[in-house]
Amino acid sequence: MTGATGNLGSALLRRLADEHTVVGLARRLPDPGFGGQTTTWVSVDLTENASVPALREAFADADAVVHLAWGFQPSHDLRYLEELGVGGTRRVLDAVTAARVPHLVHLSSMGAYAPKEDDEPVDESWPTTGVPTSPYSRHKAAAERLLDEHEASGATTLVTRMRPGVVGQRTAASGLLRYGVPGWVPAKALDLLPVLPLDRRLRIPLVHADDVAAAIEQVLLRRVGGGFNLAAEPPVTTERIAEALGARPVHVPSPLVRAAMATSWRLHLQQVDPGWLDLAFALPLLDCGRARRELDWAPTKDAVSVLQEVVDGMRDTAWDASPVLRLRTPLRQVVAALRRGPLTERERP
């Protein structure tokens, strides 16, 4: 499992580690005991071609490889993010082929889908050409093309593409805060937000990490390929986000929000690039009928509950014992910024 220390990786380890032998791969390894007693760890940097031999060794005799690794920061270093997301997927595919792994489960995303103007949910046949103004979306679409090429090559590896909505859980709150909120802002500031200035047209599919992990487990057990949409109802809206935050929603057209977001990002005042806003207003809602039919899958938590769990976790700076999900404090964030520069452009430790 690549990216085994992250948001979804931690949930999948909770689901699998008691009954399966797991090899967890990550650039920075977690605290001892993370992932359970049956999980062994290998340090691998997927941005480097030198990682391929280590990947081949880790994949040897594996029943399946679950590829979760992806990057969200530094958002000003698109070369690094592309090398990790797209280049890392290419290296995983090379190693999977060399090791003759029978099954690859790739964590794609709703972000790979092409834009859609209405709220009619789409199934897995919707084009995965991405949203051009979103680097994250472009990279997810590029990874899908690598999977297409792999399958067209006649390779025998079964490929499954998981395409969830936004994935949340309480223990990922510190990690999400680290990526989405300026480091000097304390988590308790969320309680002081009087209004939420955002376009009222927002509709975002959301799903709990444990529910995505359950779907991946079924894919592994049933050996089924192709794409799977995963989302809970109802879609998250501006009003629902404001309610979870205890703020009052104020309609501000998305072009105005984008202009402010782009300016503050360019000035390094906050670390979320404006492509994420474009993505939020361009993506379709998800039809999850295939997962229900072929995996007997249904989310155990509705999207509003997931949203509230994440927001409450942010208020409490909830965390887990891995470098990705570590406790987030403003002091640590400020010290890191002084030593290594802004999160949006600093080199990875």
Q: What is the pLDDT of residues 184-242, one digit of tens each?
A: 888 889 999 999 999 999 999 999 999 999 999 999 999 999 999 999 999 999 999 99
pLDDT at 349 over 60: no
Examine residue 14 and state whether it is found in any structural domain, yes or no: yes
13: three-class secondary structure by DSSP: helix
Examine residue 348 and state whether it is found in any structural domain, yes or no: no
The reported pTM is: 0.95
Q: What is the pLDDT of residues 119-129, one digit of tens each?
A: 999 999 999 99
- Nearest Cα to Cα of residue 109 among 173, 22, 204: 204
Q: What is the pLDDT of residues 239-259, one digit of tens each?
A: 999 999 999 999 999 999 999
pLDDT at 318 over 90: yes
pLDDT at 346 over 60: no
Examine residue 2 and state whether it is found in any structural domain, yes or no: no
Examine residue 349 and state whether it is found in any structural domain, yes or no: no
**231 Cβ neighbours under 8 A, 6+ residues apart:** 110, 164, 165, 205, 206, 207, 285, 286, 288, 299, 303
Q: What is the pLDDT of residues 39-64, one digit of tens each?
A: 999 999 999 999 999 999 999 999 99
> Which structural domain, as residue segments, surrounds residue 206?
7-340
CB 203 within 8 A of CB 119: yes
Examine residue 1 and state whether it is found in any structural domain, yes or no: no
pLDDT at 347 over 70: no
| CATH code of the domain in which 292 resides | 3.40.50.720
pLDDT reported for residue 300:
98
Considering the chain, what is the average pLDDT of its residues?
A: 94
Greater confidence (32 vs 293) lies with: 293
Examine residue 345 and state whether it is found in any structural domain, yes or no: no
What average pLDDT does the segment 81-87 reach?
98
Examine residue 135 and state whether it is found in any structural domain, yes or no: yes
Residue type, 195: V
CA distance 265 to 134: 14
Examine residue 56 and state whether it is found in any structural domain, yes or no: yes
What average pLDDT does the segment 286-306 reach?
98
pLDDT reported for residue 32:
86
Question: Domains in the chain: how many in total?
Answer: 1
pLDDT reported for residue 333:
73
How much is the CA Rg of the chain, to the nearest whole Å? 19
